[in-house]
Structure 1
Amino acid sequence: MSLFVKPGTEWESVYSRCWSVAPDAFGEGRLLNFWGGRRRLEGTPGELRSPIDGTVLTGPAPLAPIDVKRAVRASLNEHRTWSFASLPERKARVLAALDDFAEHGELLALLLVWETGRTWQAARSDVDGCVEGVRWYAEHMLEPCDPLRGPVGNLASWRHPMGVLMHAMLVQALTGNAAIANAPAEGGVNCLTLATSLAARHGVPVTLVSGGEAELSTSPMLGRTSYLDQHGVSCWGVWGFSDWPKLTPRVRASLGQDRQRFVVQRSLFDDFLAAYLPAVRDLRFGHPLAVADPADPLPELDFGPMVNDGRVQELHDIVDDALGQGAVLLHRGSLDEGRFVPDQDTAAYFAPIAILKAPATSPLHQAEPFGPVDSVVLVDTEAELLAAMHAGNGSPSFMCDEEPTAERLAAALRGPVHGPQRLDGQAAGVELPIQATAETHLGTPVR
């Protein structure tokens, strides 16, 4: 049966809903930057193409540097007022914004799907993560923090516009700081435009501009600049492990969602492959909004497209280079296995690939690209295991049956890892408690 875009989720329908919710931001046939408490017509409007199928979307309107400086100064003025607001008032305004986010969560998520190619479930998770995470901070913040001397400038990529960027801005507002963000150029600007409008209605001092990365990095009017991207490879160590059904959700989580590597005890490699290959062959990908019947729910996919076709070619080149240097191909999927509508543009899609022993000179070794590529490394000793897990400079985790071994490996891996953002808006390098269990995670925010 042929697939089609679920009625009501087409881009035209989604954009029309945005206009009805926030005509101040979407009513001019273009996206407007927001600073100084109102929408601005400055900037040259552009277009984006959805990675899903090439649909033309409303794009950002980059500001000239002088206009970005004006926006930063206006944010500084808002900061000076907001910093004197009481903690109860800050909480009330931020929580009211979160209520609006929750009310319009479906719309915010649909915007993320079209702009970034996230699956429906991943987009909802990004929106819900923002709402739930900021609520947690609001509920647990009992004493006011000392505001910075100026607003916080935020720079982030397209990957998590709500769950990282907007989450950070609202936490910064809770702590008495105005927040200004640069809209990601590759996707997320429509979603952030709507979220900014909803937050501003309740007096939360947020500013959203396109362009101006340099000004948001160096302006002396800022109290701090927050770089919100996460880089590096997240490694899963597999050592003394036998509960192989638990591997399947790790495979589904890794391909297309994280930059991930499996570091596997060599003596377990045959059992690992027996569990891994069926899981990777069963991955579901394709058009995130395609259904066979109008009444069908949106599909549960493991991943959708990459952010654009240029990233697809880049990833093909990286994989081909690794294979040319001696890496071993474990699995290569095909776009024929994807769920697509008839005659769909699939230029931004990349079928899943898994390789063994990426060479040390490959980007897959140190900074694995975001996309549906897994790499596997074999090790013989615990020392090799720990070294390989640290090599990717990401968040290490491991799977192990025996609690004493888990305790020892956890102690060796313990160190400064990424936890929740500190309430003063700084990036928090914290040491999190690690429990010795059959499955140990490092870097999981404490709730």
Structure 2
Amino acid sequence: MATVNPATGETVKTFAPFSAEEVAERLSAAVDAYHEHRTTSFTHRKKLLLTAARLLEEEQEDVARTITLEMGKTLAASRAETAKCVKAMRWYAEHAEGLLADEHPAEADVADSGAVSVLVRYRPLGPVLAVMPWNFPLWQVVRFAAPALMAGNVGLLKHASNVPQTALYIEELFRRAGFPEGCFQTLLIGSSEVDAVLRDERIAAATLTGSEPAGRAVASTAGDTVKKTVLELGGSDPYLVLPSADLERAARVGVTARVQSNGQSCIAAKRFIVHAEVYEPFVRDFVARMSALTVGDPTDEGTDVGPLSSEQGRRSLEELVDDARAHGAAVLCGGGRPRGLTDGWYYEPTVLAGVTPDMRIHHEEAFGPVATLYPVADLDEAIRTANDTPFGLSSNVWTEDAEERRRCVRDLEAGGVYFNGMTASHPGFPFGGVKRSGYGRELAGHGIREFCNATTVWQGESATP
């Protein structure tokens, strides 16, 4: 467990992993906290979560600098991530009670069942294990923690090993806000220890955001132990540009959609599928904008793209680009390490054309600032190309044509379709994918109910007059 500055490669601080005894103590504390927390009122939980939001807002700059130090995104991006977490906490504090309000079936169905009354009540499940990634080290956790805590659950966080300071801060934040001891705890453990924790009978369910292999491992264990899971895995999101699009906006937003979090985002637009009629002007503008990005120190306010999070991450990205180049792809810009940045794990914003199915990058997720281009003849080919991936997290479509929008909503295999804009999660909308991008939903009412027991409460006629 270590903070290693991606901009320099320097190991800043190390942390000793928890012993088996420490993990067991925290699991017991989670159970004790759950029995207390589950009986509290929504009004009480709301007060605590709003306090956490206020504390985080007050500490935004320090938290943002920690995020940047640990995983390398620009300070501007880290500040925006922190602000988004504050927004989500406040959203769930205000909406949770309504989202989990008792539901009353139709009177005809109640009467047909022979009941005097029937209601559906949402009750918490218990301690939930959250296995979270480093690319949005605060947001990924908060978008689980805020609804889970408001529902009456408690959380145990196994965060990525390269963001330990952020992980420990989150635990301390909820404690300082007044949540009971053990209500939200960080486990400093390695990936190899997740299986044993998930198998522990004190864990009721799990949520994971991360790689497909990690998702398979958690899903397998959860299936073996019959525990509920929500998985948000990789993505290779398409970005369709059709003839009626505003090309200038599509190119400008497309750059942001590709390089957000230094290109290390599951919902980043990765495959740019462009109609032949507008391919050349779009590509010309898009490549010019990608080439103009400033790569450098993420703490410099003028930097657009910081380093990748790890040396291995850069090596994996280089292998994908080198493989594409070897199989005939054209590198329109970038394609290597920036000159003059000898320390840290930087990679140039890159655009590849001529990508074919025999290239690894056609099928694998490029986790870095690398975009691939696909010219298509018509909407049918655009949709086929967009769906030609094992992933299905989200999608972006630029068009002013109502029929094209209808077709895309009907036919794109993804958890979201965003028209004339880039994919971005919001606390009010469900978020998640299909195919190998996972299952279940986070955020909105869908997310808070994922880890609830929808309990049918049926009342028959009393025997007493």
| Contact 2:395 2:414 survives alignment (8 Å) | no
Q: Counterpart of 2:368 in 1: which secondary structure?
A: coil
Q: Counterpart of 1:193 in 2: which secondary structure?
A: helix
Candidates 133, 144, 169, aligned match of 1:168: 144
Relative to structure 1, the CA distance from residue 128 to residue 425 in structure 2 (aligned partners, 3 Å threshold; closer, same or farther) is: farther
CA distance in 1, matches of 2:248, 2:343: 32
Q: What is the 5 A alignment of 1:1-400?
A: 46-143=1-98, 144=100, 146-186=122-162, 188-204=163-179, 205-211=183-189, 212-229=193-210, 230-246=233-249, 247-255=251-259, 256-257=262-263, 258=265, 259=268, 260-290=270-300, 298-299=301-302, 301-332=303-334, 335-336=337-338, 345-392=342-389, 393=391, 394-400=393-399
Offset of residue 334 of structure 1: 6.1
Q: Which amino acid aligns with 1:263?
A: I
Can you give the 5+ residue segments of structure 1 that lack an aligned partner in the other structure? Answer: 1-45, 291-297, 429-447
CA distance in 2, matches of 1:68, 1:203: 22
CA distance in 1, matches of 2:335, 2:451: 38
Offset of residue 141 of structure 1: 2.1
| Contact 1:168 1:425 survives alignment (8 Å) | no
Relative to structure 1, the CA distance from residue 152 to residue 267 in structure 2 (aligned partners, 3 Å threshold; closer, same or farther) is: same
Query: CA deviation digits over 1:395-433, x for unaligned, max 9?
Result: 1111113333333333333765452433536389xxxxx
| Contact 1:226 1:427 survives alignment (8 Å) | no
Q: Counterpart of 2:277 in 1: which secondary structure?
A: helix
Scaled by the length of structure 1, what TM-score is found? Answer: 0.77
Q: Provide the aligned C-alpha RMSD in A.
A: 2.4
| Contact 1:231 1:367 survives alignment (8 Å) | no
CA distance in 2, matches of 1:142, 1:347: 46
Offset of residue 238 of structure 1: 1.0
CA distance in 2, matches of 1:305, 1:354: 17
| Contact 1:306 1:312 survives alignment (8 Å) | yes
Q: Which amino acid aligns with 1:172?
A: A
CA distance in 2, matches of 1:281, 1:133: 34
| Contact 1:263 1:376 survives alignment (8 Å) | yes
Offset of residue 253 of structure 1: 2.8
Q: Counterpart of 1:154 in 2: which secondary structure?
A: strand
CA distance in 1, matches of 2:396, 2:451: 21
Can you give the 5+ residue segments of structure 2 that lack an aligned partner in the other structure? Answer: 102-121, 211-232, 417-429, 432-441, 453-465
Q: Which amino acid aligns with 1:401?
A: E
Q: Counterpart of 1:62 in 2: which secondary structure?
A: coil
Say if 2:450 is the partner of 1:426.
yes
Q: Which amino acid aligns with 2:63?
A: L
Query: CA deviation digits over 1:51-105, x for unaligned, max 9?
Result: 0112322233212344323322221221111101111001111111111001101
Q: Counterpart of 2:177 in 1: which secondary structure?
A: coil
Query: CA deviation digits over 1:254-277, x for unaligned, max 9?
Result: 123344110111232211222112
Query: CA deviation digits over 1:22-61, x for unaligned, max 9?
Result: xxxxxxxxxxxxxxxxxxxxxxxx5432101123222332
Query: CA deviation digits over 1:118-146, x for unaligned, max 9?
Result: 11111111111111012112112234573
Offset of residue 202 of structure 1: 2.6
CA distance in 2, matches of 1:321, 1:223: 43
Relative to structure 1, the CA distance from residue 390 to residue 99 in structure 2 (aligned partners, 3 Å threshold; closer, same or farther) is: same
Query: CA deviation digits over 1:180-214, x for unaligned, max 9?
Result: 1012112x221231232121123321100111322
CA distance in 2, matches of 1:172, 1:128: 20
Moved more, 194-203 or 409-418: 409-418
Scaled by the length of structure 2, what TM-score is found? Answer: 0.74
Q: Percent identity?
A: 20
Relative to structure 1, the CA distance from residue 281 to residue 333 in structure 2 (aligned partners, 3 Å threshold; closer, same or farther) is: farther
Q: Which amino acid aligns with 1:250?
A: G
CA distance in 2, matches of 1:110, 1:347: 17
Q: Counterpart of 1:141 in 2: which secondary structure?
A: helix
| Contact 1:149 1:222 survives alignment (8 Å) | no
Q: Counterpart of 1:173 in 2: which secondary structure?
A: helix
Relative to structure 1, the CA distance from residue 233 to residue 414 in structure 2 (aligned partners, 3 Å threshold; closer, same or farther) is: closer
Query: CA deviation digits over 1:378-411, x for unaligned, max 9?
Result: 2223222112212342311111133333333333
Q: Which amino acid aligns with 1:397?
A: N
Residue-pair matches, total: 369
In the alignment, what sits opposite 1:19? none
Q: Which amino acid aligns with 1:124?
A: R
CA distance in 2, matches of 1:263, 1:366: 15
Q: Counterpart of 1:264 in 2: which secondary structure?
A: strand
